[in-house]
Amino acid sequence: MAPESKKKSKPGAKAKAHAKAKSELPQDPYERSAALYNAAADGQAGMMLELLELGIDVNARVNGDTALSVACRFGNNDCVKMLLDHDANVITTTAGGSTALHAASLWGRVECVKLLLAAGASVNTKFGGRTSLQMAQQRPHSAYDGTKGAGVVSHTKYAKCAKLLEAASA
């Protein structure tokens, strides 16, 4: 029986594809950052990886917000992990002064809170006079979750976030 033949790509093929993709990106740095921001908001981890590999600034702001904050707001855990793996700064604030941890706490994104705390996010940073813990504690017992389109969500996720944040602040 003949040994299996493996298809090998031509040397430099990946580099050429990378160069082509990079040349097709918008030249405006804001538009480049907006592509990463939109991928983070939409939960498109594969697209984010391609953009990050092309050198898009992981900490850039789009309309005053960061890709990390928007990924946390929408609960896109894979995107949050990828951004953190590419050195997203967990203490960077939005133009309004909030952090990704504030966004995760405000929306009850338990996994995002875990990821951010593991990456060294500060539980003491205040936004609107409140810490992330206070935000999670002050959420109503149920709330409209606009990120899902419609519906009421349980307070349980906020309690879980508060418990994680309490443990981190101890």
Domains, the chain, ranges and CATH? 25-169 (1.25.40.20)
Name the H helices within 9-155: 13-24, 29-42, 45-53, 67-73, 77-85, 100-106, 110-118, 132-137
Q: With bands split at pLDDT 50, 70 and 90, how would you rate the model's confidence at 140?
A: low
pLDDT number for residue 25:
65
Q: How large is the average pLDDT for residues 117-142?
A: 87
Report percent pLDDT > 70 for the chain: 75
pLDDT number for residue 118:
98
pLDDT number for residue 92:
92
pLDDT number for residue 22:
56
Q: How large is the average pLDDT for residues 76-93?
A: 97
- In the chain, what is the greatest distance between 2 CA atoms, to the nearest angstrom? 73
Q: At what angle do helices 77-85 and 110-118 cross, to 10 degrees?
A: 10
pLDDT at 113 over 70: yes
The Cα 64–Cα 66 span in angstroms is: 7
The DSSP code for 127 is B
pLDDT digits (tens, 9 = 90+) for 6-16: 555 555 655 55
pLDDT at 158 over 80: yes
pLDDT at 142 over 90: no
pLDDT number for residue 139:
74
